[in-house]
Amino acid sequence: MLVSMINLMIKINLSKEEIYTEELSIEILNEYLGGRGLGVKLLYDNLGKGVDPLSPQNILVFSVGPLTSIPLPTSGRLSLVTKSPLTNTILHSNSGGFWGPFFRRNGYYALYITGKFTGSSKGYILIDGTNIEIKDASELWGLTTEETLKKLTALEGNCQVLMIGPAGENQVKFASIMNQAHRAFGRGGAGAVMGSKGLKAIAVKNGQNKVQPQNPVYLKKLNQVAADKIRVFPITSQGLPLFGTAVMMKVINAFGMLPIKNNQKGADERIDLISGERLREKFFEKNESCFSCPIRCGRWTNTGDQRGKGPEFESLWALGPQCGIFDLKIITHANYLCNKLGLDTISTGNTIACAMELHQRGLLDRSISFGDSQKLMELVNEIAYKRNLGKELAEGALRFAKKYNGTQYAMQVKGLELPAYDPRGAMGQALNYATSNRGGCHLTGYLIAMELLGVPKLIDRLSIAAKADQLVLKQNQSAVEDSLIICKFVGFALGFDFQIRFLRAVTGRDDLTIAELVKIGERIYNLERLFNVQEGFTRIDDNLPERFLKEHLPGGRIVPLDKLLDEYYHVRGWDDNGIPTNEVLEKLNLKR
């Protein structure tokens, strides 16, 4: 069956075990597109102020976008929005693979989950066309993600599965929801939210509905041009297919902004031991792609002892150099273990690195030293099961560091641990960390593309001139990408103008302009900010760790954050405390 628009939302109340569907309005889809934007709108409208993220009242929204399952580059992604137990901010995350297309082909646009199973009950959800069931998961509880996937596919046949591991079951505040056991809805602890509800997994069968684009002839021609551009652009045709995201390891090290030993250094001469090139040489097995992706940056690896996915660049860094470890095999095994247990690798590595520096500074009386690979593996397990020191580390770097009077050694913003780019080496990225609505995040406004990679043009990474204007545009565009929803990697080759062309071809809305699309991104970003303001976040929270404001990095500079924030708020139209003004809200059709 061909359908021009699939806009049904499944709503599930786990407390009552109620399931029903409702139609999403065209107005909400026009204003928020889908994916991240739709999830943000649903969360803001339905979650009250001050709700505990691990309470039954918290909401999980999974949603696809208007481009999902259409055969165009990287149209297989899926978005998640909830309130983060790690940061208490809004949390948006997305994942690739095939779950999103399977879901949309069942005739659905969003899945809205609230409540929790009563008593000690545990369950999973199965979606198979109009048949949506809640099933008993008592035999799945306690299993790793790989064990869960194997068991569920044996029970249900061919399906795509979102699941939590032991870390989510134990409500580790940076637990991930794992997609097919090896991909992740990472950052911020969505796995803990799912675990707090007693929900082990969500399985979806491949649906039979096909989404018919309004202008298939134009879309086919557009796809041909897009494929040609992807094939000739170096990052998408060579770098990512050959080395995956780990291609960035030597690049960031060369710029002197690869965090080493909890951001105490920005480069290390041992980088060749853990580079993307070395990973391919020693452990590479085969490439893997998401739905309709010509880039194929995913990779299966095999160490001889174990086999799994990755590690990606951020995981390789966080479990490696950030902890002073340069043993590629150990790092790869730690990455596999995080995937099996359902842990966010960036937060796991950063939190352990924080503990290592606290020990180094004499604030933590435990033998946890930089470079101790055996201790790394022990702590990953302890965190997931909240055993021994792992119970404290499971709260995240900020809470852990506060307990030991060393808050300055937690490399985080708003409680979310920072990724693999030292902000002292790129001022736009520094500003993005400080102002990202979900906390310390690189993807909400990836100015690294311009500041380091020269895409679409190279700008002075150490200058603060015009960085606020550039970042605001990038953040708005990223919100659109996450709502359409497509992969940011394809943007390297195609540029933002292709997104409006894809959307016109699929929806038939030929009147759409780039300016209108950017305005949608601005609306989404401001609504996220309103959510955080409602939760008590202000300018004081748009901050960076003391290290980046006072300690110089060779080849970098300390971050003049106040100047950057003043200009950023001005460009955004927010007041001096970082709160959107009434004029901005009126322009964007938003209400407090």
pLDDT of 2 higher than 70: no
Cα distances (angstroms) measured from residue 142 to each of 13, 40, 468: 23, 31, 46
> Whole-number mean pLDDT of the chain?
95
Is residue 345 helix, strand or coil?
helix
Q: Dihedral of CA 564/565/571/576: which sign?
A: negative
CATH of domain 423-587: 1.10.599.10
Domain with CATH 1.10.569.10 in the chain: 241-417
pTM, to two decimals: 0.96
Helix (H, G, I), strand (E, B) or coil at 113: strand
The dihedral region occupied by 525, where left means phi > 0, alpha psi between -120 and 50, and beta the remainder, is alpha
Q: How confident is the model at residue 490 (pLDDT cuts 50, 70, 90)?
A: confident
Is the separation of the CB atoms in 4 and 15 below 8 Å? no
Instruction: Give the pLDDT confidence of 259-317 residue by residue, as tens digits.
Output: 999 999 999 999 999 999 999 999 999 999 898 888 888 889 999 999 999 999 999 99
Inter-residue contact 36 to 79 (CB < 8 Å): yes
* Mean pLDDT score, 398-413: 98
- Side by side, the strands of the sheet bearing 78-83 are 18-23, 8-13, 108-114, 60-63, 78-83, 90-95
Decide if pLDDT at 151 tops 50: yes
Task: Of 77-86, 470-479, 494-503, 577-586, give the lowest mean pLDDT range.
Answer: 494-503
C-alpha distances (whole Å) from 570 to each of 437, 469, 564, 585 are 17, 10, 10, 15
- For the chain, give the percent of residues with pLDDT over 70: 99
**Average pLDDT of the residues in 416-443:** 97
Chain centre distance of CA 99: 16
- What is the C-alpha separation between 176 and 191, in angstroms, rounded? 4
In the block, which residue shows the tokens 């309004």? 214
> What are the b/e assignments for 479-516, b being 16+ CB within 10 Å?
bbbbbbbbbbbbbbbbebebbbbbbbbbbeeeebeeee
Residue 229, pLDDT above cutoff 50 = yes
Q: How confident is the model at residue 509 (pLDDT cuts 50, 70, 90)?
A: confident
If you average pLDDT over residues 75-90, what whole number do you get? 97
Which tens digit of pLDDT belongs to each residue from 196-222?
A: 999 999 999 998 888 889 999 999 999
- For domain 2-211, give its CATH number from 3.90.550.10, 3.40.50.880, 3.60.9.10, 3.30.9.90: 3.60.9.10
pLDDT of residue 6: 65
Locate CATH 3.60.9.10 in the chain. Answer: 2-211
* Range 480-503 average pLDDT: 91
Using alpha carbons, select from 397, 536, 561 the residue that is nearest to residue 89. Answer: 536
DSSP assignment letter at 380: H
Binned at pLDDT 50, 70 and 90, residue 149 comes out as: very high
pLDDT over threshold 50, residue 4: no
The more confidently predicted of residues 367 and 345 is 345
Q: Give the pLDDT band of residue 365 (cuts 50, 70, 90).
A: very high
Nearest CA among 319, 380, 397, 396 for reference residue 144: 380
Q: What top-level class would CATH report for the domain 241-417?
A: mainly alpha
> HSE-up of 275 (CA within 13 Å, CB side)?
18
- Domain ranges in the chain with CATH number 1.10.599.10: 423-587
Residue 578 near residue 539 (C-beta atoms within 8 A): yes
The arithmetic mean of pLDDT across residues 134-145, rounded, is 97
